[in-house]
Amino acid sequence: MATEINLDNIEDLAVGSAFLGTGGGGDPYLGSLLCREAIAKYGPVRLVSLDDLKDEDSVYVAAAIGAPTVMIEKLFSVEDQHHAVSLLERYLDRPATAITSAEIGGCNSMMPVAYAAMRGLPLVDGDGMGRAFPELQMTSMNVAGIACAPMTLADEHGNSLLIQANSGKKAELLARPVVAEMGASICMSCYPMTGAEARRGLVRDTISAAVAIGEAVRTRGDLSAIDRLVGALRQHAYYADAYRIFDGKITEIERTTQSGWVTGKCTIAAALGKREAQLTFKNENLVVYVDGVLRCVVPDLITVVDQETGQAIPTERLAYGQRVSVIGCSAPAPLKTPAALEVVGPACFGLSEAYTPIRALMEGKE
């Protein structure tokens, strides 16, 4: 298990976090360049297990927020991240002793690594989602009763903002217009926690899990990339119910966009016979059916990967003719409690399906 993030495994983390992004979360490529710069300058980042956090530790989230299309123009910098975190540190009068990721899936796995390197602080081996979700209230911290606010936003000009909000959802609603005003590619910190809170609020071991997943996909061997991927998922306590749900070729893809959401459907047909899978996404992949039978539904993870390389394909790059495998796996336990399903369950995405664990769907109805 990875105990630090360095120049040798940063690419593994990028590939693994793209998988955990379940089709969304933004491309970790640019973030991995930022990490390379930061690690080369400040040295590798030590991972600290949730078990090793002291009660009185102060854990701060580092994250980018905005639109991926804007981020690829404006890039990121750790200095802006520092403005966001230091504002929160001053407000709470509690200096950071560890940094954490709010979202392991996609590009927000990267900023915390670069920022922890800059601060010389350990990075918590965990995050607030165990995957990617589109909104600030959709976190394990929120489910555990830890407040999203006070939350800070900072742009590259030194403009920063501290938001007090009485719910995670309200923080999300207040933040979005400000994010656009500040240039749609900025840094934030939220869910400030003590070590004790982090232990009960964060999803554990997800950074090292992403590294292991990426390593499995990237390391060539006798097994196919998909088999290595599924094998790596099964090693992890949270992702262990992992299945190769469907193999085939994308035969139909439709997308519509409204108010920042790209929603759509994708049909995947088997190479032989008439079997078909139907995938629905809303920035991230939400639900998949095979021949009309439900196989996996959010918050369990659904990722479409290239059949040969095992690399995740984000929803905006799904295209007719791609040979893909649909991989599904169980969501981390903290996201599946009744309270959690109120925040990240199917209904939160406008779905009518009730949540049923992937294991029951894949093995109960065969």
| Binding stretches for another protein (CB under 8 A) | 30, 33-34, 36-38, 66-70, 72-80, 114, 134, 156-158, 176-177, 180, 183-185, 249, 251, 257, 259-262, 283, 316-317, 319-323
Closest approach of Cβ 87 to another protein, in Å?
16
Adjacency order of strands within the sheet including 123-124: 4-5, 45-48, 123-124, 98-100, 58-61, 193-194
281 sits in which H/E element? strand 276-282
Angle at alpha carbon of residue 355, lines to 353 and 358, rounded to 5°: 115
Minimum CB separation of residue 332 from another protein in Å reads 23
Smallest gap from Cβ 165 to another protein, in A, equals: 17
DSSP code per residue over 295-335: EEETTSEEEEEETTT--B--GGG--TT-EEEEEEEPPPGGG
Identify the bridge partners of residue 59 per DSSP, sorted by sequence position. Answer: 98, 193
158 or 364, CB closer to another protein?
158
Angle between helices 111-119 and 78-92 (to 10 degrees): 70
Give the strand pairing for 151-154 and 185-189.
antiparallel
- Tell me how far, at minimum, the Cβ of 173 lies from another protein, in Å: 10
What lies within 8 Å, CB to CB, of 291 at 6+ separation is 275, 276
| Pick 3 or 69: Cβ nearer another protein | 69
The radius of gyration of the chain's CA atoms, rounded to the nearest angstrom, is 19
Taking the complex as a whole, the smallest distance from the CB of residue 219 to another protein amounts, in Å, to 21
Do 99 and 116 contact (CB within 8 A), yes or no? yes
Of the two residues 66 and 214, which places its CB atom closer to another protein in the complex? 66
Who contacts 360 (Cβ-Cβ below 8 Å, separation ≥6)? Answer: none
- Return the number of the residue (113 or 232) whose C-beta is nearest another protein: 113
CA nearest to 136, candidates 163, 102, 113, 105: 102
Residue closer to another protein, measured from CB, 278 or 322 = 322
At its nearest, how many Å lie between another protein and the CB of residue 28?
13
Assigned token pair, 151: 């939350």
Angle (CA) 118 28 306, round 5°: 155
In angstroms, give the least distance from the CB of 179 to another protein. 8
H or E segment at 88?
helix 78-92
Residue 163 carries which DSSP code?
E
Give 61 or 146: the residue with its C-beta nearer to another protein: 61
Q: How far is the CB of 242 from another protein (least distance, A)?
A: 27
| Min dist. Cβ of residue 333 to another protein (A) | 28
The neighbouring-strand residues paired with 332 are none
